[in-house]
């Protein structure tokens, strides 16, 4: 019996892996992923000057702030002292002769009042930040000068000490841990969700195809339905595993190639990198990624994929066995797809508070654990007992799912004619 399952799994595996489609998906998917993540970085780093110049009029009611504000404003703001009252400034902003009008009341220098920035459309968060920063800096510097502060004191106030987030692990410390961990956690959850879904529906499509072209009758006269089900599920699962392993390998390769490239792109574009110089700073620390990608994490990742895949693929196969064409599977597969989507809805709350009760429960409870457990492990230290409990429950869940699926499948593959309802599936499940 085992050899039949292996025989079927082998055929299912080879049939899929030796196709152009698989190779293309294998290469294109990570490329797409890299693009999705790299493009925004490239766009923001390569095009700082794409912002058009902005004409700014500054109505300085104190009479002493204009110079300081003009100096503190980023380059793209072309400032001029306002020579008109507020009303006419407002009119000029409205008819687009001005992009921005900044009104600085005299009370600012007494530590009261507030500046006003007039623009047609708010101008975006970064414009607001720029204006606010410039006004604050100008007011501070003028007031410091008023109280007779030395240059040293002024310099102290201008300082911006930064905070470096470092993740501590057994194998060494790495910088920027918190951001990276969240990113990696999010990616892991997303990838597992996608793969489980893609390969689960591949199983469903395979089952429907066999039923549609009637070969299932021939196969059922050679092997037990359970063997066919398991062979198919395992064979397609192996394709998914191959894909993951290939992606990890590709990813490691891409990281070493793309990393420096991204680094170069994010540096000042007009400064040539001298030969033999140390590699430019990366947007992220490779050693930090390596520190997070521990063997333990990768093992949990693979186990979660396998567990989740077995759980959903078996149920997808049961749904597929009941219908004769894919379009009929929609309503029947709802009870399967719905629980798969739920963890994705909780992904952000969980990334935000990985140790909350909700996060802990979802990371242990199958089938949600398939997505949530790796996410949590990436972000926080999950106690070993929780990981083991989650994996144990997941194993129990997929054994249960396969049991349920096999009972439905065995009746479903031989049923033609009327479209079965969920109630029919329930009846099949209960008949001996």
Residue ranges in contact with another protein by CB under 8 A? 1, 4, 7-8, 11, 15, 210, 213-224, 414
Name the residue nearer to another protein (CB basis): 174 or 216: 216
Partner residues linked to 102 by β-bridges:
58, 117
**Six-digit token string for 53:** 């110049």
Give min distance, CB of 405 to another protein, in A: 18
Name the residue nearer to another protein (CB basis): 10 or 55: 10
Give min distance, CB of 192 to another protein, in A: 29
Name the residue nearer to another protein (CB basis): 162 or 213: 213
Give min distance, CB of 422 to another protein, in A: 18
Name the residue nearer to another protein (CB basis): 61 or 424: 424
Give min distance, CB of 403 to another protein, in A: 19
Give min distance, CB of 397 to another protein, in A: 29
Name the residue nearer to another protein (CB basis): 183 or 231: 231
Spatial distance between the Cα atoms of 346 and 323, rounded to a whole number of angstroms? 32
Long-range CB contacts (within 8 A, 24+) of 164-171: 167/288, 167/291, 167/292, 169/291, 169/294, 171/291, 171/294
Query: Nearest Cα to 169, choosing from 284, 249, 299, 287?
Result: 287
Would strands 172-175 and 100-104 be described as parallel, antiparallel, or unpaired?
unpaired
Spatial distance between the Cα atoms of 237 and 402, rounded to a whole number of angstroms? 14
**Six-digit token string for 77:** 């703001």
Contact in structure between 165 and 176 (CB atoms under 8 Å): yes
Give min distance, CB of 317 to another protein, in A: 17
Residue 13 CB neighbours (<10 A): 19
All residues at 6 or more sequence positions from 190 whose CB lies less than 8 Å from its CB, including other chains? 344, 347
Name the residue nearer to another protein (CB basis): 41 or 220: 220
Q: What is the dihedral of CA 113, 117, 123, 126, to 10 degrees?
A: -50
Spatial distance between the Cα atoms of 370 and 305, rounded to a whole number of angstroms? 7
Look at the block and give the residue holding tokens 């993740």.
167
Give min distance, CB of 214 to another protein, in A: 3
Q: How many helices (H) and strands (E) would you count in the chain?
A: 17, 6
Give min distance, CB of 407 to another protein, in A: 14
Give min distance, CB of 320 to another protein, in A: 16
Give min distance, CB of 128 to another protein, in A: 58
Look at the block and give the residue holding tokens 């309503």.
331
Give min distance, CB of 221 to another protein, in A: 4
Contact in structure between 286 and 389 (CB atoms under 8 Å): no
Would strands 172-175 and 166-169 be described as parallel, antiparallel, or unpaired?
antiparallel
Euclidean distance between the first and the last CA atom of the chain, given in angstroms as a whole number: 21
Name the residue nearer to another protein (CB basis): 145 or 215: 215
Name the residue nearer to another protein (CB basis): 399 or 414: 414
Query: Helix, strand, or coil here: 428?
Result: helix
Residue 242 CB neighbours (<10 A): 15
Name the residue nearer to another protein (CB basis): 211 or 376: 211
Name the residue nearer to another protein (CB basis): 62 or 212: 212
Q: What is the dihedral of CA 126, 127, 131, 133, to 10 degrees?
A: 10
Partner residues linked to 100 by β-bridges:
56, 119
- Asked if the bond preceding 314 is cis, omega within 30° of 0, the reply is no
Name the residue nearer to another protein (CB basis): 164 or 214: 214
């Amino acid at each position: 019996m085992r050899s039949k399952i292996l025989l079927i799994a082998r055929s299912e595996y080879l049939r899929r892996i030796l196709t152009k489609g698989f190779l293309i998906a294998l290469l294109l998917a990570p490329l797409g992923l890299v693009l999705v993540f790299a493009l925004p970085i490239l766009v923001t780093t390569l095009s700082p000057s794409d912002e058009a110049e902005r004409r700014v009029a500054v109505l300085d009611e104190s009479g002493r702030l204009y110079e300081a504000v003009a100096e503190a404003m980023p380059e793209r703001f072309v400032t001029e002292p306002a020579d008109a009252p507020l009303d006419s400034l407002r009119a000029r902003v409205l008819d687009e002769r001005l992009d921005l009008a900044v009104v600085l009341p005299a009370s600012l220098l007494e530590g009261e009042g507030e500046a006003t920035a007039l623009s047609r459309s708010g101008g975006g968060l970064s414009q607001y930040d720029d204006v606010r920063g410039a006004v604050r800096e100008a007011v501070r510097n003028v007031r410091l000068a008023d109280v007779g502060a030395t240059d040293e004191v002024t310099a102290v106030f201008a300082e911006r000490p930064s905070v470096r987030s470092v993740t501590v692990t057994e194998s060494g410390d790495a910088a920027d841990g918190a951001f990276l961990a969240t990113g990696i956690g999010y990616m892991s959850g997303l990838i597992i969700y996608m793969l489980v879904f893609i390969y689960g529906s591949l199983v469903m499509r395979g089952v429907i195809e066999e039923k549609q072209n009637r070969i299932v009758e021939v196969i059922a006269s050679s092997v037990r339905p359970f063997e066919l089900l398991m062979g198919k599920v395992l064979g397609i699962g192996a394709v998914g595993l191959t894909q993951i392993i290939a992606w990890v390998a590709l990813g490691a390769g891409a990281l070493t190639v793309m990393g420096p490239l991204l680094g170069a792109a994010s540096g000042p574009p007009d400064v040539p990198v001298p030969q033999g110089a140390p590699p430019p700073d990366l947007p992220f620390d490779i050693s930090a990624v390596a520190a997070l990608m521990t063997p333990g994490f990768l093992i949990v990742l693979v186990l979660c994929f396998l567990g989740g895949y077995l759980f959903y693929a078996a149920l997808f196969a049961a749904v597929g066995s009941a219908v004769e064409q894919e379009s009929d599977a929609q309503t029947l597969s709802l009870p399967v797809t719905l629980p798969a989507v739920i963890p994705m809805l909780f992904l952000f709350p969980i990334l935000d508070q990985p140790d909350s009760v909700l996060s802990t429960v979802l990371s242990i409870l199958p089938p949600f654990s398939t997505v949530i457990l790796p996410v949590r492990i990436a972000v926080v230290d999950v106690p070993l007992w929780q990981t083991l409990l989650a994996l144990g429950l997941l194993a129990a869940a997929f054994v249960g799912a396969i049991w349920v699926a096999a009972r439905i499948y065995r009746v479903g593959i031989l049923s033609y004619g009327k479209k079965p309802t969920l109630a029919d599936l329930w009846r099949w499940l209960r008949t001996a």
